[in-house]
Amino acid sequence: MLAITLLVLCAVGTQALDNGLARTPPMGWLIWERFRCNTNCKLDPNNCVSEKLVKEMADRMVEDGYKDVGYEYVNLDDCWSDKERDAQGRLQADPDRFPSGIKSLADYIHSRGLKMGIYGDYGTKTCAGYPGSLGHLQTDAQTFADWGIDMLKLDGCNSNVTTMKKGYPEMTKYLNATGRPILFSCSWPDYERAAKIPINYTLVADNCNIWRNYDDINDSWGSITGIIDYYDKTQDTLVPAAGPGHFNDPDMIVVGDQGINVNQANAQMAMWSIFAAPLLMSNDLRNIQPVYRDILQNKEVIRINQDPAGKMGKRVLTFGSNVEVWHRPLHQYQEWAVVILNKDTKPQTVSFMLSQLGFTAWGYEIREVLTHTELGHYGIYLPVNFTAPPMGATMLYAYTSS
Ligand code: GLA
């Protein structure tokens, strides 16, 4: 009896995602927010969704220092495929825009020391109307593995959301069965939220490496703060779900796009690092001003994002309706990241004691990591003032030497 129970338990155990990936939040580039479903290569040959564009981004990632600081995935999104499956029922790339095929593109990306991500959809069609994986989950998992894919984003348009709790774990099983470690990015909880179906984050975290929970980002401050507000509101559910191997995904980094300024860009990097969120840039790495490149490559912020404990941070204080203090525990004893987020259009100075953040050592050394400034030693029971720039953030790294 015991043996049978153990066997059953083992069989169930292997259903969970077991790929060893995303021990820290994945970093890379994702085509969607910046390039969308631009398939018109005749009119716009340099910006259409094509192997040329993806190769150019892989080159920039290597040659402009992104790879050196940790960005590694180069990811397609919707609109890469042909409108029809091939004669064997497999997905195939659009032949005009990907004349060499996806396997060859993955080989190129691997030859540059990077990894490749692709996009599919759990329903009958993708959000943009390309073939979906419903009824083909196993074939598609195998096709992606055969091509050498390293990450799969499985969207949820055109599907029956009530079946996702069963269907996404099925895909997990098929991905596991390929034997190729493929980081699994699920849109499942976002669709459940929208359909007002209760989300079981334990199940999600067992089956997905990262998962979307909220609306699509666009390159505007309103979109960024909308996502932050949702994370604020739901933090008690989201924080326990995150950890090494499984992270919440508030969507792409839009730093370097044209809709946000420097303060806002710093704030997005800071908050996504407090969230222990994936850093998947969606921008045009061929045309990016140095100031934004520096923000994307800020090693002090990336170090916080990539902290090995993989704990997600939370909001701990608010000042009026526009200033919030967030913190994230890091892996060393008494080591913290803190963000003072200012949504106001004017600079704001706030005053608080470190003890109010739950800090318990006598004193901390503090560094501001967006401007790389040493601020000095602070006790926990004296009020300290911090000024955050308009529609921006101040990010502190606090540690104790005692
Ligand atoms: C959905 C997703 C986006 C993107 C598009 C593609 O909206 O949330 O991230 O993948 O579909 O059509």
Tens-place pLDDT, residues 30-48: 999 999 999 999 999 999 9
Of the candidates 107, 216, 232, 344, the residue annotated as catalytic is: 216
Q: Number of helices (H) and strands (E), helices first, in the chain?
A: 13, 16
**Alpha-carbon dihedral angle through residues 222, 39, 251, 203, given to the nearest 10 degrees:** 140
pLDDT digits (tens, 9 = 90+) for 201-237: 999 999 999 999 999 999 999 999 999 999 999 999 9
Rounded distance between C-alpha atoms, residue 401 and residue 390, angstroms: 32
Tell me the CA–centroid distance for residue 132 and ligand 1, in Å: 13
Is the CB of residue 33 below 6 angstroms from any atom belonging to ligand 1? Answer: no
| pLDDT at position 9 over 50 | no
87 contacts 93 by C-beta, under 8 angstroms: no
pLDDT band at 328 (very low <50, low <70, confident <90, very high): very high
Sign of the C-alpha dihedral, residues 9, 197, 313, 117?
positive
Residues in the chain: 402
- Which residue, judged by its Cα, is nearest atom 12 of ligand 1? 127
Is the CB of residue 155 below 6 angstroms from any atom belonging to ligand 1? Answer: yes
Cβ-based neighbours of 43, under 8 Å, separated by 6 or more:
none
Cβ-based neighbours of 389, under 8 Å, separated by 6 or more:
263, 342, 347
Tell me the CA–centroid distance for residue 187 and ligand 1, in Å: 9
**What pLDDT sits at residue 7?**
47
Q: Which of 203, 122, 193, 209 is nearest to 163 (CA)?
A: 122
pLDDT digits (tens, 9 = 90+) for 267-312: 999 999 999 999 999 999 999 999 999 999 999 999 999 999 999 9
**59 assigned to active site:** no
Tell me the CA–centroid distance for residue 374 and ligand 1, in Å: 41
pLDDT band at 10 (very low <50, low <70, confident <90, very high): very low
Q: Which of 385, 387, 388, 386 is nearest to 342 (CA)?
A: 388
**What pLDDT sits at residue 401?**
78
Residues forming beta bridges with residue 29, ordered by sequence position: 74, 281
Tell me the CA–centroid distance for residue 155 and ligand 1, in Å: 7
**216 assigned to active site:** yes
**What pLDDT sits at residue 399?**
97
Of the candidates 140, 155, 251, 257, the residue annotated as catalytic is: 155
